[in-house]
Amino acid sequence: MKKLLTTLCAIVPLIGTVQAQEFTSTQLEQVKQVREQALNSDLSWQLLESLTSEVGPRLPGSENDKKAVAWAKQQFEQLGFDKVWLEPATFPHWRRYRESGAIVSPSTQPLHLTALGNSVSTPTDGITAAVVMFETLDELIAAPKKSLENKIAFVNYRMNRHIDGNGYGPAVRARSSGAVEAAKKGAIAYMMRSVSTSHHRFAHTGNSRYQEGVSKIPNTAIANPDADQLERLIKAGHAVSVNINLQTEDLGEGTSYNVIGEITGSEYPEHYVLIGGHLDSWDLGTGALDDGAGVALTMAAATHIKQVARPKRSIRVVLFAAEELGLWGAKAYFKQHADKLDNIVAAAESDFGADLVYGFESSVSATSLPIVRAIAQQLAPLGIEYIRANSARGGPDLIPLRQATDAPIFALHQNGTDYFDYHHTADDTLDKVAPDKLKQNTAAYAVFAMMAANAKTTLTGKAK
Amino acid sequence: MKKLLTTLCAIVPLIGTVQAQEFTSTQLEQVKQVREQALNSDLSWQLLESLTSEVGPRLPGSENDKKAVAWAKQQFEQLGFDKVWLEPATFPHWRRYRESGAIVSPSTQPLHLTALGNSVSTPTDGITAAVVMFETLDELIAAPKKSLENKIAFVNYRMNRHIDGNGYGPAVRARSSGAVEAAKKGAIAYMMRSVSTSHHRFAHTGNSRYQEGVSKIPNTAIANPDADQLERLIKAGHAVSVNINLQTEDLGEGTSYNVIGEITGSEYPEHYVLIGGHLDSWDLGTGALDDGAGVALTMAAATHIKQVARPKRSIRVVLFAAEELGLWGAKAYFKQHADKLDNIVAAAESDFGADLVYGFESSVSATSLPIVRAIAQQLAPLGIEYIRANSARGGPDLIPLRQATDAPIFALHQNGTDYFDYHHTADDTLDKVAPDKLKQNTAAYAVFAMMAANAKTTLTGKAK
């Protein structure tokens, strides 16, 4: 708090000048109004509750995915968005329909596992084989060729817990390419400790890939307590065998839709602030944190803005399709709009749950920094600190945008300390979202989007 | 803490006298020694780790149950118990072999459920029907006859969280007899919110019963987040249908064994302090809290006592069979020893996890209270308060003893605030036990058992 105050004292005189230049006092009054409205409204909660309960899990290509698209379109319309439309996106359609596992030696015990996205099936009775454990993916990569023949490879890497989720990247390597590396050594199946900080018995799913020319082997993650159990048995000197039974289906190319709602700007309608989340989710939970929250809070934020005052530039809420299977909706969106990416004056995706937003960060040109500081000042009453690194990456669906252009990118950093306790598991359900925190998130997005849309000067990105 | 100090100050002068009468200074020195040894030893942890990892779940009648019996016998022998033996117990042998559930309307979603013990199977494809929700079992009982025909009854009662687990009794009514009451109204299956304080997606199993002359319908509990989901959908006005698929098997009468290890007393070998837990567990988790902990800590406590000094009376560690299915091991034990129950000078079962013991309570004759206070004084350094109610009930396996005689009963009350987050679920695994707390538990049982075995006067029970 002291740090926050010091920061505020230092920037206040400058902000005074900036505000005079960039925002009228009426506009600043409206920002305050939208912030209060969002903090006192249940709208984002109602949207999240409806999406996660009435639709539920939303695996791309599933019936529920279609329902989610219809749901989002209808909600945008009912909320009074000026334009609502769909844009198609194709993706590799995959589903699981049954999965189970067991330790079969030294004693029979259930093994809580889940197929990783894209995994092939096992034979109907599963695969039973001896387990070879590695502490890291690199250890597996260093194993001699053929050393895993007729074995199940098990990577036991533990993910670190951190407020910004920085343990995820290092851990996810073993998910993305573990099966490929295991198959190269002759393994007949691949198994990993979940990319999760949970000590509950939920396996974490997520996307994975195969490699041309390398045998496709069944690919699974086990819950952390189950990984602990295997580790104990192996370290105690037991020869451990497990049975893995995954029944999945590759359904070829699927199509889903980015659902887009726009509040049209009064002065520069073609210029827009892009906020949003992804509409799809994994099939295990109901996708409350990932990413129902992002969907609900950005829909609600734009609605609050419109209700207070139509912005000068447009605000476009993009609900991306098929993020979980590889950003397919985002790729389609930024490809379809490739010739008009300069119209994006600010972009931020919420895809990190809905714990309190603690930091606001930009990635903009130096000339846009005064606007950023003015926005930061209006976020401060929400307990949000201005992070001056100016190297925001936005959410995952902004990756194609960042690769294509130098659009101004923003991050409203949610506290992610507990996020990976639930992410991609059956336990990602509505009760894991705190209503008051969701309101703070909604208010933060509303303040940010309103100010980015109303600044006198158009925000510009940091040249790459 | 202040309360504890006040209590101690009040009893110290009296204790001085009692100790002079009941315990020699050498004996009190030995109590201190055993307490320190237990606090510094990994023995109970090693036993718990081995039982839950190398054996795992221990459903009565299963292969693992047999392994557990062999494991316990071998451990007692290796630990140097003077006598080790088995006593048979029969029970109704039941098992689950597959179970699944789904909400099928208004949208398709997995439903995390588990068969309650003793449940009959559904047809192979499960039962799909509309759900009728009741907030309590009493509401269901009050429903009109035939009002649930072709429906699935759902009791949505929420269990309260409390340090002494007092929410369990009221909640468990709906588990014991819910299916019977639902069937009386024509329901074709019964479903209940889990008897659990967890907000994770684990269904809680547990014993249930049918009633002669009432149709046996499939009987299941759903995880609390799933119960929340059903409640939301129903309260939003949706007609909710679910599919319940339980495949279980009634295997007739099974036999398992109470495993008993004795440290034989030097002066009154036929008199004994009975401590223990139950060796069986439900099949979903690995029975770490319920009741691997009780098994491990009482085995270790007796071992520590023997290593410090052979007690005057015997200490008998009884690991009861088939507790979960209805106290079958306990019934067999106290029946088999019915003519010698007076030999039991003190009895305490640990079957409430392994969080810190916070209270020590007796149920003894007034003349034995000075001994109890002396024991309490030696438990105080472990942070354990003397609870003066003198109405201890001991653990569930002591119920047949309490019904048959007025043996002196003791309770070492574990903090049960979190116990029902894990109890009877797949999440009851070793990582839920804190090693240091298990040591405190072990030390508490060691101090209690040693002193109860060594008191000059024999403890006597409260006449009923």
The verdict on B21 and B70 lying in the same domain is: yes
Q: Say if residues B90 and B255 touch (Cβ distance below 8 Å).
A: yes
Annotation says B323 is catalytic:
yes
Strand ranges (DSSP E) for B106-240? Answer: 109-110, 113-115, 127-134, 151-155, 189-193, 219-222
Q: What percent of chain A has pLDDT over 70?
A: 95
- Could you say which residues from 389 to 418 on chain B have a Cβ atom under 8 Å away from some Cβ of chain A? none
Local confidence band at B9 (pLDDT 50, 70, 90 cut-offs): very low
The verdict on A123 and A29 lying in the same domain is: no
Q: What percent of chain A has pLDDT over 90?
A: 95
> In this predicted structure, what is the pLDDT of residue B253?
98
Distance, CA of B90 to CA of B67 (rounded, Å): 17
Tell how many helices (H) and how many strands (E) occur in chain A.
12, 14
> Which pLDDT tens digit goes with each residue over A62-90?
999 999 999 999 999 999 999 999 999 99
* ipTM summary value: 0.92
- Stretch B368-393: mean pLDDT: 97
> Which pLDDT tens digit goes with each residue over A21-62?
899 999 999 999 999 999 999 999 999 999 999 999 999 999
Task: Please say which residue of A202, A224, A251 terminates a domain.
Answer: A251
Model confidence at B11: pLDDT above 90: no
Q: What percent of chain B has pLDDT over 70?
A: 95
In a domain, A87, yes or no: no
DSSP bridge pairs for A411: A361
- Chain B interface mutation, best of A46, A200, A233, A418, highest count of B Cβ atoms under 10 Å: A200
Q: What share of chain A is helix, strand, coil (3-state, %, to 5)?
A: 40, 25, 35
Model confidence at A12: pLDDT above 70: no
Local confidence band at B463 (pLDDT 50, 70, 90 cut-offs): confident
* Eight-state DSSP code of residue B85: E
- Could you say which residues from 246 to 285 on chain B have a Cβ atom under 8 Å away from some Cβ of chain A? 283-285
Model confidence at B2: pLDDT above 50: no
Q: Say if residues A440 and A44 touch (Cβ distance below 8 Å).
A: no
How many other β-carbons are positioned within 10 Å of the β-carbon of residue B436? 10
* A290 Cβ under 8 Å from any chain B Cβ: no
The H or E element that residue A215 is part of is: none
Per-residue burial over B220-234, b if 16 or more Cβ lie within 10 Å, else e, is bbbbbbbbbbbbbbb
Listed in sequence order, the residues at least 6 apart from A205 whose beta carbon sits closer than 8 Å to its beta carbon are A114, A115, A116, A117, A221, A282, A283, A284, A424, A425
Chain B nearest CA to A70, separation (Å)? 13
> In this predicted structure, what is the pLDDT of residue A2?
46
The verdict on B308 and B355 lying in the same domain is: yes
> In this predicted structure, what is the pLDDT of residue A21?
86
The verdict on B151 and B186 lying in the same domain is: yes
Strand, helix or coil at A112? Answer: coil
The mean of the pLDDT values for chain B is: 95
In a domain, B182, yes or no: yes
The verdict on B288 and B355 lying in the same domain is: yes
The verdict on B321 and B384 lying in the same domain is: yes
Gyration radius (Cα) of chain B, Å: 23
The verdict on A358 and A311 lying in the same domain is: yes
Domain range enclosing A106:
94-251
Q: Say if residues A280 and A262 touch (Cβ distance below 8 Å).
A: no
Give the count of alpha carbons within 13 A of B430, CB side only.
Answer: 26
Contact call for B201 and A199, based on CB within 8 A: no
Chain A nearest CA to B157, separation (Å)? 17
Distance, CA of B73 to CA of B70 (rounded, Å): 5
Model confidence at A14: pLDDT above 80: no
> Which pLDDT tens digit goes with each residue over B121-134?
999 999 999 999 99
> In this predicted structure, what is the pLDDT of residue B418?
97
Measured over the CA atoms of residue A37, residue A41, residue A43 and residue A44, the dihedral's sign is: positive
In a domain, A463, yes or no: no
**Residue whose entry in the numeric block shows the structure tokens 């069937």:** B183
Strand, helix or coil at A237? Answer: coil
* B197 Cβ under 8 Å from any chain A Cβ: no
The verdict on A78 and A162 lying in the same domain is: no
Contact call for A54 and B109, based on CB within 8 A: no
Task: Please say which residue of B200, B230, B251 terminates a domain.
Answer: B251
- Stretch A188-201: mean pLDDT: 98
The verdict on A137 and A66 lying in the same domain is: no
CATH number at residue A208: 3.50.30.30
Give the count of alpha carbons within 13 A of B189, CB side only.
Answer: 29
Local confidence band at A463 (pLDDT 50, 70, 90 cut-offs): confident
The verdict on B63 and B134 lying in the same domain is: no
CATH number at residue A10: 3.40.630.10
> In this predicted structure, what is the pLDDT of residue B1?
42
Q: Say if residues B372 and B444 touch (Cβ distance below 8 Å).
A: no
> In this predicted structure, what is the pLDDT of residue B8?
46
In a domain, A326, yes or no: yes
Euclidean distance between the first and the last CA atom of chain A, given in angstroms as a whole number: 34
Model confidence at B18: pLDDT above 60: no
- Stretch A97-121: mean pLDDT: 97
In a domain, B258, yes or no: no
Local confidence band at B17 (pLDDT 50, 70, 90 cut-offs): low
> Which pLDDT tens digit goes with each residue over B263-282?
999 999 999 999 999 999 99
The H or E element that residue A394 is part of is: none
Q: Which of A199, A236, A429 sits opposite B225 (nearest CB)?
A: A429
The verdict on B222 and B345 lying in the same domain is: no
* B169 Cβ under 8 Å from any chain A Cβ: no
In a domain, B461, yes or no: no
In a domain, B462, yes or no: no
> In this predicted structure, what is the pLDDT of residue B21?
86
Distance, CA of B438 to CA of B357 (rounded, Å): 9
The mean of the pLDDT values for chain A is: 95
Q: How many CB pairs (< 8 A) connect A and B?
A: 101
Model confidence at B319: pLDDT above 90: yes
Euclidean distance between the first and the last CA atom of chain B, given in angstroms as a whole number: 34
In a domain, A460, yes or no: no
Tally of domains within chain B: 2
Task: Please say which residue of B202, B228, B251 terminates a domain.
Answer: B251
Model confidence at A17: pLDDT above 70: no
The verdict on B381 and B416 lying in the same domain is: yes
Local confidence band at A190 (pLDDT 50, 70, 90 cut-offs): very high
Question: What tokens were used for A381?
Answer: 């009453």
Among the listed ranges A6-10, A150-154, B35-39, which one has the minimum average pLDDT value?
Answer: A6-10
> Which pLDDT tens digit goes with each residue over A292-323?
999 999 999 999 999 999 999 999 999 999 99
